[in-house]
Structure formats: C-alpha cells, structure tokens
A = this chain, B = another copy of it.
C-alpha cells in the first residue's frame, strides 16, 4: 500500500484535513468547524477522532500511514511545546505528545504560517527555491521562512512574524499586537482598506473608490489597475511598506525568493512588481533582484505544509 500522511491545519473557525501521498499529491481533503469548548482541548480530540474515522472509512493500513502533521495558529517550539494559543483558549502544553496519545500515530507540529511556507516551498509558488520567505496578506500579515528546505521556527517558535515588523514610526493607531506602525497595519486586507479610507478623507479629489458601496483590498487593486489615481496611491503606499519590510528580511537572511500569498495576493502582478521596486530601492546591490512569486496553493498551503512536516 502506498505511504500516506495527514496534514491538519487548525484555524480559528475551521479545521482543515488533507490526505497526501509521500510525493505530495493531495488525495483527499475535508474540513469541519473548530469547537472551542473544553479549554480548546476538544479541537485536538475532534481532530484525532476525525482522522481515526477516515482511516477506518478509507481502509488505510496502519503501517502505510507515516503520521500526522499539524499546523496551529501560534508559536510552537521544535519539540512540540506550545506556550499559549490565546485564540483557541489553549494554555501551555505539548501538542505533539497529546496528539500522539490521541491518535497512536507519529505527530509533528508547527506554526500555521510556517507550515504554509513549507507547503508553498514543497508544492506551490516557491517550488525550486530552497531559501524563501512566504508573506501571507490576509486579514492580518503572516510570514514563514524556509532555509535550506526546512522551516525556521526560531528559539521560541516565533520566527517569521513579519506582520509586526515596525515600518512607520509616525503611526498613531495601535496594531492588534499592541505596538504602533506594524506592517500589518498597511499591507493586510484590513490595512489596505484603512489606507484607502484615510487617503479618501484627506482630499476631495475624484476617485472610482468613492462610488463603491464598500471598499475592499480587491476594489482598491481593481481601481488601481484601471488607472485610478488615488487607488494607485494606496497601492504604492501599501507596497512601499511591504517592500521595506522585505528589504529588512533580505538584508538579514538573503533568501532566493519571496512568495506572496493570502487573499490580497490575488491582485497579482501589480502587487509583486510594486513590492519588488521598493525592495530593490532598499537593499544593497548584492541583495537585489530576488524572485518575487505569487503563492499557488491558496487555503490549502497549510495542509500541504503540515503534511510535509511529518514527511520531512
């Protein structure tokens, strides 16, 4: 029987589960709602039960299952220790040990943003680069770093927290993390909308953005692509901050490529090209001309990466 593994991506609203073969083919995927009861511990029980059901249902033989990879929305140490998962109501515990006990399978866990980076490296937009940085532009800004083909977890599992790199010392609004001027305040979907509203309120200049019932990151990029001046200003500003943050990463770790994912990345080339311009403006010559790619796995990046965690 061919070797398979499970990749689980635990999120705040849904748990995604993928069944993969060792070559990285996604054989099947499912999801179910995240249950936050039992101090968050029910999430692990639910996930374990779900996997055991699937093993039975699909008649998987035990020795064909390599194990289970799990991505969770918080820092995880290399040994599986989780210090806190505030979102899910979980405190200090070892997620690998608990899941191993619940499933009887080998378990490897990692941070979800790092797992997504591993997924994009393995089977997505970062294929072919052994050193890359994934930046996920969604509601927030997440990041994951792959060095020599493995995740950089950091000494407390908090490496790759690109969203909270300081990019604007003059910001007066507070970020979700409690600091001011974080990248997430400008380059996330929410941040782009905020920038747009600010720019619209500062001038009476005409803009297609004013005709929209609701402004989203998508409408901003759509209007910019149609040549709308104020929308272009917003795009320049968001991409400038992102390009500067990536320039810091370039100066520090010298990766081969940056892969941009998350909902905002649907903007495509206007995003990658504008970010690249500001990146190149702010790095030394030896660090210019990195590859800027779009992520390709979408919401499945997490399950791909989780699977790779256990296969690696």
Check A253–B253 contact: CB distance below 8 A: yes
Q: Which of A155, A158, A287 has the most CB of B within 10 A?
A: A155
- Distance, CA A169 to CA B285, complexed state (A): 18
Given known contacts A161-B287, A284-B179, A287-B156, A248 and B254 CB-to-CB distance under 8 angstroms: no
Min CB–CB distance A53 → chain B (angstroms): 35
Of B147, B166, B284, which one neighbours A147 at CB under 8 angstroms?
B147
Check A131–B158 contact: CB distance below 8 A: no
Tallying the copies of this chain within the complex gives 2
Q: Which residues of B contact A281 (CB under 8 A)?
A: 179
- Distance, CA A249 to CA B162, complexed state (A): 10
Of B162, B178, B286, which one neighbours A285 at CB under 8 angstroms?
B178
Check B166–A254 contact: CB distance below 8 A: no
- Is A145 in the interface zone, CB < 8 Å from B? yes
Check B75–A154 contact: CB distance below 8 A: no
Of B158, B244, B254, which one neighbours A159 at CB under 8 angstroms?
B254
- Distance, CA A27 to CA B164, complexed state (A): 46
| Complex interface residues of chain A between 209 and 258 (CB less than 8 A to chain B) | 244, 247-249, 251-256
Given known contacts A75-B286, A158-B284, A252-B159, A244 and B178 CB-to-CB distance under 8 angstroms: no
The contact string, 1 if C-beta is below 8 Å from chain B, for chain A 238-282, is 000000100111011111100000000000000000000000011
Check A158–B75 contact: CB distance below 8 A: no
Check A156–B286 contact: CB distance below 8 A: yes
Check B283–A164 contact: CB distance below 8 A: yes
- Is A165 in the interface zone, CB < 8 Å from B? yes
Q: Secondary structure at chain A's binding surface: helix, strand, loop or mixed? A: loop
Q: Which residues of B contact A287 (CB under 8 A)?
A: 156, 158, 161
Q: Which residues of B contact A312 (CB under 8 A)?
A: none
Check A131–B154 contact: CB distance below 8 A: yes
- Residue ID in chain B nearest A256 by CB atoms: B155
Interface residues on A, range: 35 or more
- Is A44 in the interface zone, CB < 8 Å from B? no
Min CB–CB distance A291 → chain B (angstroms): 10
Check B179–A282 contact: CB distance below 8 A: yes
Min CB–CB distance A85 → chain B (angstroms): 12
- Is A119 in the interface zone, CB < 8 Å from B? no
- Distance, CA A164 to CA B244, complexed state (A): 12
Min CB–CB distance A235 → chain B (angstroms): 19
Check B254–A165 contact: CB distance below 8 A: no
Check A286–B254 contact: CB distance below 8 A: no
- Residue ID in chain B nearest A154 by CB atoms: B254
Query: Which residues of A line the B interface, CB within 8 A?
Result: 75, 83, 130-131, 145, 147, 152-162, 164-166, 169, 177-179, 244, 247-249, 251-256, 281-287
Please name 24 pairs of A and B residues whose Cβ atoms are closer than 8 Å in the assembled complex, sorted by A. A75-B286, A83-B286, A130-B155, A145-B253, A147-B147, A147-B152, A152-B253, A154-B253, A154-B254, A155-B254, A156-B254, A156-B287, A157-B254, A158-B284, A158-B287, A160-B252, A161-B284, A161-B287, A165-B251, A179-B281, A179-B282, A179-B283, A179-B284, A252-B252
